[in-house]
Structure 1
Amino acid sequence: MLRMRLKFARLLPDFCQYASHMSLQGLAQHALYTRHLKTLVGGLVLVTLVMLVMYTTPTPTALILSAANSLRETDKLPESSASSGKAGDDAAASLSLRQEREEKEKEREEAKEEQVEGGIPEKVFGLESPDRGSLRSEVLMAGESADAQCRPQHHVMFLKTHKCASSTVQNIFLRYGYTHNLTFALPGGGNYLGNPSLFKAAIIPKKLLPPSGKVDIFAVHTRLNFKEHSRVLHNDTRWVTLVRDPATLYESLFNFFHLKNGYNLDLSAFSSQPMSRLMELPRYGGKFGKNQMLFDLGYSDNMSVTQLRQAIEELDSVFDLVMVAERMDESLVLLRHLLCWSLHDVVVFTKNARRQEVKPTLDPQTRQTLRELNSADALLYDHFMAKHRRAVLEFGARRMADEVSALRSLRDEYFEDCGAREVKGKDSTLKFKEYSGLVSSYVTSNNSDQNCLMLSLPELPLVDTVRRKQLKVLEEMRAPS
């Protein structure tokens, strides 16, 4: 461009000189100067057009910068993305991929949230799908990997609280101990060791105690007496118990043990009675009444608020895990990780639980009355429910949902493989019967499988089975060689 301008500057004096000579040399030279003039004017026009094109037409670099600026305004692209044509293309491609990933991730998150919120029905026996089977396998493999890093715990104290689904959890401990040849704290007969009185170590018959005086598992009804219980337990024992919504618990207790006969008062009439009268109702049979959980845990059912808060703090420090009946499967997952057991170890069929169709529905006023009557248990329950929620969050909500789903799937598989069926109400043909016709029993077609048989046994026959084995083993140990 500069050279073209210089050429034009050199031609300009020549043009002036040619013009002055035209008049002197005459018409003979007119044609020659006309050709020079046309050449000069044409060159000038060409230079002007070239300059206009260079100063007004956008370059490729300018186009890339413009596109990058537009993208940066919408998605905050880095400045370096606009450094070249390739950078601009990469930035656009990166933006598209990122948007696609975000959309897919959002879809996955929404699907998982629906699964967690909707849950899986508690009893869907025989239901299996490839997805659930795959999930169960993944959880089991993950559990086996985790188990390799910890040692299964064989020392457990399970404080069995009344009407808190405790018979269901007890079945887990009795089966595990029986299968692994562990020793139990057992009475000479029945399933109670210290209730309504507080537990004393001397209650356990000597013929049922190992030579060391220590047992591996305590899983029968008792009233907590920490010092006395500790005398028969190992130092590394894991302490576990259960809580349940106090209004629901009291309704179950009242109807299951027929407290109406002792109080001459129907539960539906509670809401019309003065609270002072309800508070004075005696403990039925010395065992059953208001604030049942605190009573089973060794405390008085009449405490001041200060005493109650101190009692809850003491219990919180004693127990490694307080399970929640309304969150049973989540609690079982936490239990199996506390004890470093497998998912198979915590599979269980519901025990001694009334069928849904025979449970009365509490009206809101009666429910509120029962909660007020059991206000000490309500404070206890609220404390450990809040602690349970924190434990689930710490464990991981997604991880918990996966394990719960795998546990339920495995339970369905056991139910099918054992050929189990639910028997509602009383059945005179059953060899092993539950306490009441209000609850369901289970029978299996595969009684040759020890685990299937123990899964289906009610509490008392299973305790008797464990006791017979322990008596035999201890007698052999004491027999002279």
Structure 2
Amino acid sequence: MNASTLCTKLAENQLQGRALYTRHLKTVVGGLVLVTLVMLVMYTTPTPTALILSAANSLRDTEKFPKTSVSSGKAGYDVAASLRQEKEKEEKEKEKEREKQTEERQVERGIPEKVFGPSSQERESLRSEVLMAGDGAEAQCRPQHHVMFLKTHKCASSTVQNIFLRYGYTNNLTFALPGGGNYLGNPGLFKAGLIPKNLLPPSGKVDIFAVHTRLNFKEHSSVLHNDTRWVTLVRDPATLYESLFNFFHLKNGYNLDLSSFSSQPMSRLMELPRYGGKFGKNQMLFDLGYSDNMSVTQLRQAIEELDGLFDLVMVAERMDESLVLLRHLLCWSLHDVVVFTKNARRQEVKPTLDPQTRQTLRELNSADALLYDHFMAKHRRAVLEFGVRRMADEVSALRSLRDEYFEDCGAREVKGKDSTLKFKEYSGLVSSYVTSNNSDQNCLMLSLPELPLVDTVRRKQLKTLEEMRAPS
């Protein structure tokens, strides 16, 4: 091959290489352009997923669900949040259904309609306002003169009763009273007809109910005002049963000593009858109008009913805190809730329960234990809402004021039976109080035992009502 031919071949190869390079370059550029176009389409056209979520959003909008957003190429819809919202909605619907069932049961038991339904939320709101109110709240509220105090046995209820009897007597209020003694319905449930007509105001309504009774919602409501505040008291059930057993001498009726309870079959203890028809196991629930033998479902329903009915359930082991909550609920002063302990056994005569006996008594009174635990937990929450520091300050002020009254009244404690005492407590196991300042009405009433104080209130009410009925 000559030089001329070789040069020609080289030139042709170069041209072919350039053509091949050009074709490859066009292919690469075309590919890049195509990829670019695809990417543009992907990021400017809604994806099928986005279209589905967008349709779902439109559907939710029409059903008045919360709106959600879908950004281009990516769903902004929070599925987890949606599931939470739907679950919350289901829970609310279930809660409404439970409330409806509870109200139906309450109607069957004759519970006043005013206590439940929509008004129950108002009552709960009132409780919260009372707990959260500051020190100046007293100036903004009005003292409550209508109170239903369900007096439970051996729960320090005589102490709290003294507060209501003194307040009503001082403020010329009317009471629900029997013709004699201090019981209106027990062991039977309360009936309005138990109140003698000569002790009932012309309106048929009383301001304060504070004597022993067995709760009967419908009958109690018939003699109470619509704005009545409902209050009761609970106590640790093992301690309560020990007090009940020894104070009322149940050993004589059962022929069984309390110390031997832990060695007895629970089936035998459960079959012990109510002593005198009044006293026995699950005493608090019995006083509250329920059977002392209920299924777990019935018991929980009962506790739910009681929680809705009572504005305040005081706790005996937290008495001073409970008195502070009471005085705020009723818009009363600290002076109004000062009280000397009533009908409580002296420490030296109280037996000490061994752990095994205590556990046996708690098991025997398991329904009361569930009731107590519920309201103890509620009391703790109430103190937290009120403010722990604020509560401590008020309790301290209450105790200081009590000491001042004790000193100013010249009061002294008398232990056991004393033939010189004009007014005696039920038992020699409890202390009585005497005061050197009998000219002071408040001092005298602070020191009086339950029965003499009820008699004093009754005499005044009879006289007042007779004067009202007398022709002018």
Give the Cα separation in 1 of the matches to 2:143 and 2:231: 15
Structure number with greater Rg is 1
Aligned to 2:297: 306
Aligned to 2:138: 147
2:454 paired with 1:463: yes
Matches within 5 A, 1:137-176: 145-176=136-167
Give the Cα separation in 2 of the matches to 1:389 and 1:143: 19
State the one-letter code of the partner of 1:313: E
Aligned to 1:44: none
State the one-letter code of the partner of 2:211: V
For residues 187-240 of structure 1, the C-alpha deviation after alignment (integer angstroms, 9 at most, x for no partner) is 000000000000000110000000000000000000000000000000000000
Deviation at 1:148, TM superposition (A): 1.3
Identity %: 96
Does the 8 Å CA contact 1:143/1:343 hold for their aligned counterparts? no
2:364 paired with 1:373: yes
Deviation at 1:144, TM superposition (A): 7.7
Q: Return the TM-score normalized by structure 2.
A: 0.72
Deviation at 1:271, TM superposition (A): 0.1
State the one-letter code of the partner of 2:186: N
2:281 paired with 1:290: yes
State the one-letter code of the partner of 2:194: I
Give the Cα separation in 2 of the matches to 1:307 and 1:221: 25
Aligned to 1:393: 384
Q: Return the TM-score normalized by structure 1.
A: 0.70
Deviation at 1:328, TM superposition (A): 0.1
Give the Cα separation in 1 of the matches to 2:453 and 2:388: 35
2:244 paired with 1:253: yes
2:169 paired with 1:190: no
* 2:397 pairs with one of 406, 410, 414: 406
Aligned to 1:269: 260
Aligned to 1:319: 310
Give the Cα separation in 2 of the matches to 1:339 and 1:267: 40
Give the Cα separation in 1 of the matches to 2:407 and 2:135: 24
Give the Cα separation in 2 of the matches to 1:309 and 1:321: 18
Give the Cα separation in 2 of the matches to 1:371 and 1:338: 31
Does the 8 Å CA contact 1:144/1:342 hold for their aligned counterparts? no
Aligned to 1:139: none
Matches within 5 A, 1:89-168: 145-168=136-159
Deviation at 1:382, TM superposition (A): 0.1
Aligned to 2:196: 205
State the one-letter code of the partner of 1:405: S
For residues 33-88 of structure 1, the C-alpha deviation after alignment (integer angstroms, 9 at most, x for no partner) is xxxxxxxxxxxxxxxxxxxxxxxxxxxxxxxxxxxxxxxxxxxxxxxxxxxxxxxx
State the one-letter code of the partner of 2:205: K
Aligned to 2:93: none
The alignment partner of 1:443 has SS state of strand
2:349 paired with 1:358: yes
Aligned to 2:422: 431
For residues 431-451 of structure 1, the C-alpha deviation after alignment (integer angstroms, 9 at most, x for no partner) is 000000000000000000000
Deviation at 1:143, TM superposition (A): 8.4
Aligned length: 340
State the one-letter code of the partner of 1:300: S
Aligned to 1:113: none
Give the Cα separation in 2 of the matches to 1:175 and 1:194: 23
Give the Cα separation in 1 of the matches to 2:251 and 2:420: 30
* 1:241 pairs with one of 232, 238, 258: 232
Give the Cα separation in 2 of the matches to 1:153 and 1:307: 33
Deviation at 1:146, TM superposition (A): 2.2
The alignment partner of 1:239 has SS state of strand
Give the Cα separation in 2 of the matches to 1:166 and 1:229: 19
Give the Cα separation in 2 of the matches to 1:344 and 1:417: 13
The alignment partner of 1:148 has SS state of helix
Aligned to 1:88: none
For residues 236-265 of structure 1, the C-alpha deviation after alignment (integer angstroms, 9 at most, x for no partner) is 000000000000000000000000000000
2:340 paired with 1:349: yes
Aligned to 1:225: 216
Deviation at 1:174, TM superposition (A): 0.1
Deviation at 1:145, TM superposition (A): 3.3
Q: CA RMSD in A?
A: 0.9
Does the 8 Å CA contact 1:183/1:215 hold for their aligned counterparts? yes
Give the Cα separation in 2 of the matches to 1:176 and 1:196: 28
